[in-house]
Chain A
Amino acid sequence: MKAPELPARIWNGFFYHGFSAGSLGLLRIYFGYLLLPFHALQFGALLALDPFGPAFYFTDRIWYFNALGIHSHLPQLTPIAFAVLLVATLAMALGRWTRASIFVVILCIFYLKGVRDSFAGDIHHRYLMPTHMLIILLMSRCGDVRSRDSRARPRVQPLAEWEASWPIKAMQLYIASFYFWGAVAKLRASGLAWFYGGGKIQEILVERAVRWGGTDLRAQIANPISLALAQSAWLMDILGALTLVMEAGFPLILLVRRTRWRLMFLLGVTFFHLANYLLIGVKFVLIPIVFLAFFDLVPVHRWLTTRFRSKRRS
């Protein structure tokens, strides 16, 4: 094999094989439905604001609000944008005006995230993986299979394996890269000290446990479990090592073909996010919805529908 052919073979072998049209359609459906509670968790607090109250002048605007000259929150617009987001997400899941729906979902995410992050100058990263999945779906033919659009246009050309596979593989690559960049960022910013000898994990556990401690620190510790865990040096070292292994090793999942091993690894990552939420309040708890991209959902969907039908019969 000539040298230039090998990269092309690796590229084509990775991106253009492995999934069917049904896989892509079902990913769109399941991901779309699971985005609904995700949106609610991320933006629900904004709905508690008074739509007829003051328009808060943002302290530190997100870059595109700066570019567009958006200075203040429009409290009447936020609930409307949220409603549009939910409707568009549902339309995407159902596959109705699919491409337009996905575009509207992305637009609403940009707006609502911009609002949320501009109040106090936060930079939240929870929507990065879902947004990139949506961008990839936007470029794909996910609306041409298992959708209202495809039923309305029966003559649409069936998806070839390469057309169904590349969006899913691209999503897998982005998600794996995201976690890998997390490990690289910690090593670049802090070196190995982040991961051992207590490290950042101990610092965050303690900080989140005592943050709202009030005048009497002991009596008003928000999370005594976090504080107790932080006092165990060996446990902090183990958690640090596991974090490094999980994040730096995440791309290896791209080489794992066995579904059971993938599932075990991703369940472990899911537990990591759940623990983060319970112990330090990091709201990545629903981010495991993106892990759908690592599985062929055709057999999963078949199993679920079979179980559902047999339960209905009985």
Chain B
Amino acid sequence: MRPLRRTAVNWFLALYLCAVWTAALARFDEFPFTWVSMYAVYRPTELLRLRVADAAEIGRGLRATARDGSTRWVTRHDLNVTKKHFRRLYWQRMFPDDPASRWPYRLLRSVNRTLGYAPDDMQFVVRLEADIDQVSLRKTDLAIVERESRHVTHEWTATYLQWWRDEGP
């Protein structure tokens, strides 16, 4: 590549700066563009509502039920993911904030496709379960005012089957 002339550099800089600033102003957050939205969202509340996970429980894995009724624990080694990724899948994705999100389907799909199961297989995972605690702390002194255990179950549905077929092999 020949050295750029000054005019070309001017054009490059102008276009580059336009691109990165437009992305920032437009709240576009796809690598390598960003509006630096990390940790930006905050809604003031009187109580802090947080999830508390048991590292040992997460290490045991997700409880999976197959089509033939058998159960097993699906661990990070079964899926060949890092500890941090499995923790995020467990702690955050199994308990999505938005009930309408596709995360239950995505998790069932990833587990089954990774393990090599098709929807007709008897080993196909039709249910994933996990447990977590939800605590509410008072902001003034961080005292726990409420604690509840949450158990989540994600079941395979006819809608998920249709999505699976729409995605193809």
Contacts and interface: CB of A to CB of B under 8 A. Distances in A.
A199 interface: yes
B84 to A, nearest CB: 6
Nearest to B84: A45
Of the four ranges (under 10, 10 to 19, 20 to 34, 35 or more), the interface on chain A belongs to 35 or more
Given A128-B34, A190-B42, A200-B39, A211 B53 contact: yes
Given A122-B88, A125-B34, A162-B6, 13 more contacts: A45-B82, A56-B114, A71-B113, A119-B89, A141-B3, A170-B13, A181-B24, A186-B40, A200-B42, A203-B42, A203-B48, A211-B53, A215-B54
Nearest to A63: B30
A185 interface: yes
User: Interface on chain A toward B: helix, strand, loop, or mixed SS?
Assistant: helix
Interface string A134-167: 0100010100100000000000010000110010
A46 interface: yes
Interface in A16-49: 16, 45-46, 48-49
Contact of A210 (B16, B35, B38, B135): B135
A194 B142 contact: no
A132 interface: yes
B136 to A, nearest CB: 11
Interface of A: 11, 15-16, 45-46, 48-50, 53-60, 62-64, 71-73, 75, 99, 110, 113, 117, 119-123, 125, 127-128, 131-132, 135, 139, 141, 144, 157, 162-163, 166, 170, 173-174, 177-179, 181-182, 184-186, 188-190, 193-194, 197-200, 202-204, 206-207, 210-215, 217, 227, 230-231, 233
Highest count of chain B CB atoms <10 Å: which of A59, A166, A185: A59
B31 A113 contact: yes
Contacts of A139: 4, 12
B18 interface: no
Contacts of B115: 54
5 contacts: A48-B82, A125-B36, A182-B36, A200-B42, A233-B140
Contact of B21 (A48, A162, A177): A177
Interface of B: 1, 3-4, 6, 9-10, 12-13, 16-17, 20-21, 24, 27, 29-32, 34-44, 48, 50-56, 77-85, 88-89, 91-93, 103, 106-107, 109-110, 113-116, 133, 135, 137, 139-142, 144, 147
B140 to A, nearest CB: 8
Contacts of B34: 125, 128, 178, 181
Contacts of B48: 202-203, 206-207
B24 A177 contact: yes
Given A54-B78, A139-B4, A131 B32 contact: yes
Nearest to B32: A131
A231 B32 CA distance: 37
Given A59-B89, A203-B42, A214-B52, A163 B3 contact: yes
A206 B137 contact: yes
A131 B20 CA distance: 13
